[in-house]
Amino acid sequence: MRYISTRGGIAPIPFSEAVMMGLADDGGLLLPEKLPQATGEEIAVWRRLNYPDLAVAVLSHFIDDIPAADLERLVKKSYAAFQHPEVTPVVKQGQCHILELFHGPTLAFKDVALQLLGNLFEYLLAKSGGRMNIIGATSGDTGSAAIYGVRGKERINIFILHPHGRVSPIQEKQMTTVLDANVFNIAVKGTFDDGQAIVKKLFGDLNFKQQHQLGAINSINWARIVAQVVYYVYAALKLTGEGKAAQVDFAVPTGNFGDIFAGFVARRLLPKQIGQLILATNENNLLTRFVKDGDYSVSGVRPTSSPSMDIQVASNFERYLYYLNDQDAQRTRQEMEQFAATGSLQFDPARLQRIQQDFASQSADEAATKATIGDFYQSHDYLLDPHTAVGVYAGLACRRPEVPLVCLATAHPAKFGQAVEAAIGRPPELPPPLAALAKLESRCQVLPAEEQVIKDFVAQHAL
Ligand SMILES: *Cc1c(COP(=O)(O)O)cnc(C)c1O
């Protein structure tokens, strides 16, 4: 399987190169030349596999340049870091099958992809003899999953900037109690946007980028998408088959469109077993407007109780646009350039019809999110985190009565204690890994929000 760019500007490359490239060199996003479909025989075999073995089988459709035994070792190592024997268990609660994606080391679904990505980076760098300095800015949640993905890895250092005093105590502790020598937490005296702007400048300085082999770990890396395809397949095969339902629908709390795009790829693999993909948004409902009205226009970001979905533009949207354009890279590039210039794309009725065949969508405002957490707790004695609650709300709104509804649970409720407390009147209990954080030693560098200061710090500590 080789990889091409949504903008058509690179020669096809193997998976390993796609992982190391991240963003395509022509500014587009990388995609497989052809999306695979599983055969009936394969599906019969897959139904009997545990999560890590299923992951190897699914990934093998997308990765043919890593020897099978190596891939198996990397996958097993990645998912051994999860607390639950099933890795991503499915639990029935009322009308929803909750797909719990939060059993990884930081209790967030991003672990599913970042554990594998960290191991892939280490493996590929060992092969090439290279090194990598990962730099990223976080508003709280992604940073810890990225840090846990690469802590202690050879040939990799990671620098994560967070806004000093502006992330929740749990989030701060999750990041700063990782004491491995290759992990550098930087608390920037400023906002998340200040940190983000500095990171962009460091990547924009091509000399600096080259000299220090800067790497990114954001959600546009293809390896992250493909790792997420696996749990859709896992849940779909668990709930369908002889004597069970024919197909299932998925409700997906969406921000940057990475997770739901993984669902789109999974449905190409299993077109019979996967039905509706329900794209759930919070008050930042750009993508719901896109699905309902064919209007993809930026507006300001409003902070909500589900911060990982507070996005202005969806960084993986271009991947779907490419398929909507019947893989016309020229048209995709033109439209993305138009979007960059005007902040808006409009879709005509013919394309809107296709979009609505591909996705259903519903947005949940803050009141609906809070009510969903409260109602779900009352009815099922089960706590949803606010991101998951947005998905459950949208899922129930778009539910087809005869089709099992799988709702993706993207974070453990204890990570968003304030929102949960506001909904049910008491804070959630902390699971042992979070309760233990308070007592752990932490390490963090506090620096001013100045490009040169951060640059000097990175240069001094880079591999
Ligand atoms: C990142 C994140 C999301 C959104 O996922 P995308 O792939 O960006 O659409 C939803 N919930 C949680 C908890 C997240 O961390």
Chain segment 165-181, per-residue pLDDT in tens: 888 888 899 999 999 99
390-420 per-position pLDDT tens digit: 999 999 999 999 999 999 999 999 999 999 9
**Residue pair 135/195 in contact by the 8 Å Cβ criterion:** no
Backbone φ, ψ for residue 103 (5° rounding): -95, 10
Residue 126 alpha carbon to ligand 1 centre in Å: 30
Beta-bridged to residue 229, according to DSSP, are none
**Choice among 253-267, 295-309, 316-330, 351-365 with the minimum mean pLDDT:** 295-309
Decide: residue 422, CB within 10 A, 0-12 exposed, 13-18 middle, 19+ buried.
Answer: middle
Q: Whose CA is nearest to atom 15 of ligand 1?
A: 308
Of 251, 249, 247, 250, nearest to 272 by C-alpha is 247
Beta-bridged to residue 250, according to DSSP, are 277, 406
Q: Which two tokens stand for residue 309?
A: 């979905």
**Residue pair 104/111 in contact by the 8 Å Cβ criterion:** yes
| Closest atom, ligand 1, to C-alpha of 228 | 7
State the alpha helices, DSSP H only, in 220-365: 222-239, 258-269, 286-293, 317-324, 329-342, 349-358
Residue 460 alpha carbon to ligand 1 centre in Å: 33
331-353 per-position pLDDT tens digit: 999 999 999 999 999 999 999 99
In short, whether 141's Cβ falls inside 6 Å of ligand 1 is: yes
In short, whether 415's Cβ falls inside 6 Å of ligand 1 is: no
Q: Report, as an integer, the average pLDDT of 246-257.
A: 97
Place of tokens 């990570």: 415
Residues 303, 305, 310, CA angle at the centre, nearest 5°? 45
**Residue pair 407/251 in contact by the 8 Å Cβ criterion:** yes
In short, whether 309's Cβ falls inside 6 Å of ligand 1 is: yes
**Choice among 185-194, 267-276, 363-372 with the minimum mean pLDDT:** 185-194
Q: What average pLDDT does the structure give for the chain?
A: 95
Beta-bridged to residue 409, according to DSSP, are 100
Of 410, 390, 365, 353, nearest to 279 by C-alpha is 390
Q: What is the pLDDT of residue 167?
A: 86
Residue 254 alpha carbon to ligand 1 centre in Å: 6
> Of 3.30.499.10, 3.20.20.60, 3.40.50.1100, 3.40.50.2000, which CATH number belongs to 90-107+223-424?
3.40.50.1100
Higher pLDDT, 167 or 15: 15
Place of tokens 């469109």: 257
**Choice among 100-109, 194-203, 220-229, 280-289 with the minimum mean pLDDT:** 194-203
Q: What is the pLDDT of residue 14?
A: 97
378-390 per-position pLDDT tens digit: 999 999 999 999 9
Q: Could you tell me whether strands 445-448 and 132-137 are parallel, antiparallel, or unpaired per DSSP bridges? A: unpaired
Q: What is the pLDDT of residue 22?
A: 86
Residue numbers annotated as active site: 110
Question: Cα–Cα distance between 208 and 206 in angstroms, integer?
Answer: 5
Q: Whose CA is nearest to atom 14 of ligand 1?
A: 308
The alpha carbons of the chain give a radius of gyration, in whole angstroms, of 21
Q: Whose CA is nearest to atom 8 of ligand 1?
A: 256
Q: What is the pLDDT of residue 406?
A: 98
In short, whether 287's Cβ falls inside 6 Å of ligand 1 is: no
In short, whether 391's Cβ falls inside 6 Å of ligand 1 is: no
Q: Which two tokens stand for residue 33?
A: 């030349």
| Closest atom, ligand 1, to C-alpha of 415 | 13
Residue 61 alpha carbon to ligand 1 centre in Å: 25
Full-model pTM: 0.95
Of 103, 135, 139, 134, nearest to 121 by C-alpha is 134
The domain limits of the chain are 90-107+223-424
Q: What is the pLDDT of residue 140?
A: 74
Percent of the chain with pLDDT over 90: 88
Q: What is the pLDDT of residue 438?
A: 87
Residue 309 alpha carbon to ligand 1 centre in Å: 6
Question: Cα–Cα distance between 374 and 156 in angstroms, integer?
Answer: 43
How distant, in Å, are the alpha carbons of 7, 62, 94 from that of 327?
Answer: 10, 18, 40
Q: What is the pLDDT of residue 206?
A: 86
pLDDT over 90 at 263, yes or no: yes
pLDDT over 90 at 459, yes or no: yes
| Closest atom, ligand 1, to C-alpha of 311 | 8
**Residue pair 281/361 in contact by the 8 Å Cβ criterion:** yes
What's CA 109's distance to the chain center, in Å? 7
In short, whether 305's Cβ falls inside 6 Å of ligand 1 is: no
